[in-house]
């Protein structure tokens, strides 16, 4: 594959952007090589500036659940933008969005739109702290909730990929208020709440961890956390920025039947535009300004064009059988990859939820962060490069979930498995 134009752009970018990128994982640091620059995208495909085509399993890190450049989404954006890009006064699409979100996710009785997942999570813990009058928050090792100060403690995603789970620039006094727990460990959670429960404002979790590869909750684990929070007067916050509208229409909370007090959203809810949202119980959300004293604001929040893209995407995922089909295609891909690995004599394991998956170069099962970390990252790097050469773009990190869209059909899945046969053989040899 020729990458001359991407190489030239990356050289120029490295002079002016830290690491040549505007978000760390894009830099390919953990898999080696250089990132390619996108020219356009369509359905399951990304096309780079050198004319190469890739089957894309990143989907802009989640938003593109209906495939890239879906005509319905583009039409909604085009129609809306003709009326102006931003008004700074309320618009009707914000109301439709609030009605749509609260209908799809019943635990969200009220909602506030923001501009990113990061903004959603940092606003949600402000509400948790403001409403409970407590300061401490609990998060989980390897979970990523955006780059807010309180969350860059044992964080996943790019922080994990680059080996920077605790970031300089976060004051110790603030980091000390963040308590961390190992994911899927029932006992550790019970013990922490027994010790510090009365100081905990909220517990925030990725109900399915998608930022330390892909780790599913053990049976009853999320229920256990629900009970602990209720017993100790702490708020349960589901960070569904990744899982929302993906693993079920109503997200992980629908899939596992657990009702959080607050939820955060991003990615799919913006359909590719910069959008986030937080919502939850009416008594909590009515404490947010201006109906209450907990301050939160945003110049571009509820932006009409962004709402239009999000609403059009939410229409697409509400089509009957959408998530069942997504689950089937995720299984077909993962089963095929496991078979190809077995045939090549490679130790390999996958985890799956509808529309998202984890790839592990180790034996299963994977229940916790330590299990995920034990995957052979060097092997993943070789596999990633071998797949890229064969026109398949996986997440450029051993610690990020992969994403499927409804645009990934049988042909793409078959081609991906075929590419994997070659890639497994290449990275063994």
CB of 293 to ligand PLP, least distance (A): 25
For residue 265, state whether it binds ligand PLP (rule: CB under 6 A).
no
What is the DSSP code (8-state) at residue 273?
A: B
Whether residue 48 lies in the annotated active site? no
Contact between 134 and 200 (Cβ < 8 Å): yes
- CA distance to 212, 216, 359, per residue, from 366 (Å): 11, 8, 10
Out of 144, 183, 380, 383, the residue judged to bind ligand PLP by CB under 6 A = 144
Out of 48, 56, 141, 239, the residue judged to bind ligand PLP by CB under 6 A = 239
Out of 30, 80, 91, 121, the residue judged to bind ligand PLP by CB under 6 A = 121
For residue 242, state whether it binds ligand PLP (rule: CB under 6 A).
yes
CB of 338 to ligand PLP, least distance (A): 25
- Which tokens hold the place of 239? 């960070």
Contact between 35 and 26 (Cβ < 8 Å): yes
Contact between 292 and 286 (Cβ < 8 Å): yes
CB of 116 to ligand PLP, least distance (A): 4
How many Cβ atoms sit within 10 Å of the Cβ of residue 277? 31
Cα separation, 108 vs 116, whole angstroms: 18
Say which of 54, 144, 221, 393 is annotated catalytic.
Answer: 144
Out of 52, 60, 116, 375, the residue judged to bind ligand PLP by CB under 6 A = 116
Stretch of 140-148, 212-220, 330-338, 412-420 contacting ligand PLP, by CB under 6 A: 140-148
Phi, psi of 273 (to 5 degrees): -95, 160
Contacts of 126 (CB under 8 A, 6+ apart): 294, 295, 296
How many Cβ atoms sit within 10 Å of the Cβ of residue 85? 12
Helix (H, G, I), strand (E, B) or coil at 287: coil
Question: Pairing state of beta strands 45-48 and 38-42?
Answer: antiparallel
CB of 314 to ligand PLP, least distance (A): 17
Q: Which is nearer to ligand PLP, 145 or 255 (CB)?
A: 145
Q: Which is nearer to ligand PLP, 43 or 146 (CB)?
A: 146
Helix (H, G, I), strand (E, B) or coil at 277: strand
Stretch of 74-82, 142-150, 194-202, 225-233 contacting ligand PLP, by CB under 6 A: 142-150
Contact between 405 and 356 (Cβ < 8 Å): no
Stretch of 86-94, 111-119, 168-176, 385-393 contacting ligand PLP, by CB under 6 A: 111-119
Say which of 29, 261, 267, 393 is annotated catalytic.
Answer: 267
Out of 3, 29, 126, 145, the residue judged to bind ligand PLP by CB under 6 A = 145
Contact between 225 and 79 (Cβ < 8 Å): no
Whether residue 267 lies in the annotated active site? yes
CB of 121 to ligand PLP, least distance (A): 6
Cα separation, 177 vs 191, whole angstroms: 17
CB of 424 to ligand PLP, least distance (A): 28
C-alpha dihedral, 70 to 71 to 72 to 77, nearest 10°:
90
For residue 241, state whether it binds ligand PLP (rule: CB under 6 A).
yes
Say which of 56, 185, 239, 371 is annotated catalytic.
Answer: 239
Stretch of 39-47, 176-184, 206-214, 248-256 contacting ligand PLP, by CB under 6 A: 206-214
Taking CB positions, which residue lies at the least distance from ligand PLP? Answer: 117
Cα separation, 355 vs 329, whole angstroms: 8
For residue 313, state whether it binds ligand PLP (rule: CB under 6 A).
no
For residue 117, state whether it binds ligand PLP (rule: CB under 6 A).
yes
CB of 97 to ligand PLP, least distance (A): 17
CA distance between the termini of the chain:
21
Out of 146, 165, 250, 336, the residue judged to bind ligand PLP by CB under 6 A = 146
For residue 206, state whether it binds ligand PLP (rule: CB under 6 A).
yes
Strand partners, 205: 238
Active site (catalytic) residues: 144, 239, 267
Enumerate binding residues for ligand PLP (CB under 6 A): 116-118, 121, 144-146, 206, 210-211, 239, 241-242, 266, 276
């Amino acid at each position: 594959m020729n990458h001359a134009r991407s190489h030239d752009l990356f050289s120029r970018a490295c002079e002016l952007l830290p690491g040549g990128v505007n978000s760390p994982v894009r830099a390919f640091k953990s898999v080696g090589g250089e990132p390619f620059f996108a020219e356009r995208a369509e359905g399951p495909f990304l096309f780079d500036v050198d004319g190469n085509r890739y089957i894309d399993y990143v989907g802009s890190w989640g938003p593109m659940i209906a495939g890239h450049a879906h005509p319905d989404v583009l039409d909604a954006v085009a129609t809306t933008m003709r009326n102006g890009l931003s008004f700074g006064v309320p618009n009707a699409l914000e109301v439709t969005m609030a009605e749509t979100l609260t209908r799809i996710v019943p635990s969200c009785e009220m909602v506030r739109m923001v501009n990113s997942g990061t903004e959603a999570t940092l606003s949600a813990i402000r509400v948790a702290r403001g409403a409970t009058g407590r300061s401490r928050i609990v998060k989980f090792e390897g979970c990523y909730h955006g780059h807010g100060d309180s969350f860059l403690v044992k964080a996943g995603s790019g922080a994990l990929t680059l080996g920077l789970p605790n970031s300089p620039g976060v004051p110790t006094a603030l980091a000390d208020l963040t308590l961390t727990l190992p994911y899927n460990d029932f006992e550790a959670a019970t013990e922490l709440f027994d010790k510090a429960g009365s100081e905990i404002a909220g517990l925030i979790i990725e109900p399915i961890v998608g930022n330390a590869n892909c780790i599913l909750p053990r049976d009853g684990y999320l229920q256990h956390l629900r009970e602990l929070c209720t017993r100790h007067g702490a708020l349960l916050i589901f960070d569904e920025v990744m899982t929302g509208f993906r693993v079920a229409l109503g997200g992980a909370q629908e899939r596992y039947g657990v009702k959080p007090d607050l939820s955060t959203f991003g990615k799919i809810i913006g359909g590719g535009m910069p959008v986030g949202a937080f919502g939850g119980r009416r008594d909590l959300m009515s404490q947010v300004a201006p109906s209450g004293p907990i301050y939160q604001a945003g110049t571009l929040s509820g932006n009409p064009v962004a709402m239009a893209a999000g609403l059009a995407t939410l229409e697409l995922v509400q089509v009957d059988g959408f998530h069942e089909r997504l689950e089937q295609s995720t299984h077909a891909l993962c089963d095929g990859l496991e078979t190809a690995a077995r045939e090549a004599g490679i130790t390999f394991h996958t985890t799956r939820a509808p529309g998202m998956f984890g790839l592990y170069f180790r034996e299963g099962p994977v229940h916790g962060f330590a299990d995920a970390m034990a995957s052979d990252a060097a092997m993943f790097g070789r596999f990633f490069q071998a797949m890229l050469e064969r026109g398949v773009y996986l997440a450029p990190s051993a610690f990020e979930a992969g994403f499927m869209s409804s645009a990934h059909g049988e042909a793409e899945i078959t081609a991906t498995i075929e590419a994997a046969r070659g890639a497994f053989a290449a990275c063994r040899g």
